[in-house]
Structure 1
Amino acid sequence: MSGSLDDSRPIFLQIKERLADQIVNEQLKEHDQVPSTNKLVQFYRVNHLTVAKGVNQLVEEGILYKKRGVGMFVEKGARTKLIQQRKQAFQDAFIEPMIKEADMLGLSEQELVELIRQRRGGVDK
């Protein structure tokens, strides 16, 4: 995990996304303890409230849960929930606009699928 953050987006969102990435990538698994807000504050060198805002959003979304006096942990099913959220966001941000553009260009579904296959075949996975 890199401690560098950028100025392009709110810091609390970047911290939230990095924790979510660790869950999706299975670096953090169900019921694993996540780093404390104090550790995250030290690691990222940001305000405690900034870290807490990102972490609390994950709690509100049912991705993390708190054990009073012990810490925060990854909720059961968190990875599946995050993947579903990301699939929907991907569809909204990329698939829908791509289909609209393909329709404007008169591309058939087969042509669109072929373009995707060609592009994926040319990229190392």
Structure 2
Amino acid sequence: MNFHFDQSGPLYQQIADQLEEMIFTGIYREGEQVPSTTQLSQELHINPATVLKGMNQLVNRQLLEKRRGLGMFVAAGAQEKIMETRKEDFYHDYVQSLVAEARKLNINEAHLMNLIKRGYQNGSTED
């Protein structure tokens, strides 16, 4: 388990983001136990309250579930929830701005679709 921290945001958010990525990529599978707050805080040399705050974000998003006396487990459907959230984020973060820029350049929908197809065929985003 490799966590990497930087100055991009609060530690608890980075913990939540990285645990989410581990669930998404299948490092932690649905129904599987994730390391305890104590384990993570000791391994990462971070305050347990900080780790718990990050993990609770995932509990609130129903990606992790607490099992009394047992610990935290990846919730059923967690990977699919992450996928759907990321698809929606992709639309808002990339597609909307792509379409807006295409309109500024007078690129119509058909031409834009051809450019996207070309990008898939070439395996790159270069023109």
TM-score by length of 1: 0.89
RMSD (Å) for aligned C-alpha atoms: 1.4
Could you say which residue in structure 2 is the equivalent of 1:111?
111
For residue 109 of structure 1, report the CA deviation from its aligned partner: 1.8
State the percentage of identical aligned residues.
38
Could you say which residue in structure 1 is the equivalent of 2:76?
76
- Secondary structure of 1:2's partner? coil
Aligned residues: 123
Query: Runs of 5+ in structure 1 lacking a partner?
Result: none
Distance change (3 Å), C-alpha of 1:14 and 1:5:
same
Q: State how far apart, in whole Å, the 2-side matches of 1:106 and 1:30 are.
A: 46
Q: State how far apart, in whole Å, the 1-side matches of 2:5 and 2:84 are.
A: 26
Q: How does 1:1-125 map to 2 (within 5 A)?
A: 1-120=1-120, 121-123=122-124
For residue 115 of structure 1, report the CA deviation from its aligned partner: 2.6
TM-score by length of 2: 0.88
Query: Runs of 5+ in structure 2 lacking a partner?
Result: none
Q: State how far apart, in whole Å, the 1-side matches of 2:45 and 2:118 are.
A: 43
Q: State how far apart, in whole Å, the 2-side matches of 1:90 and 1:25 are.
A: 17
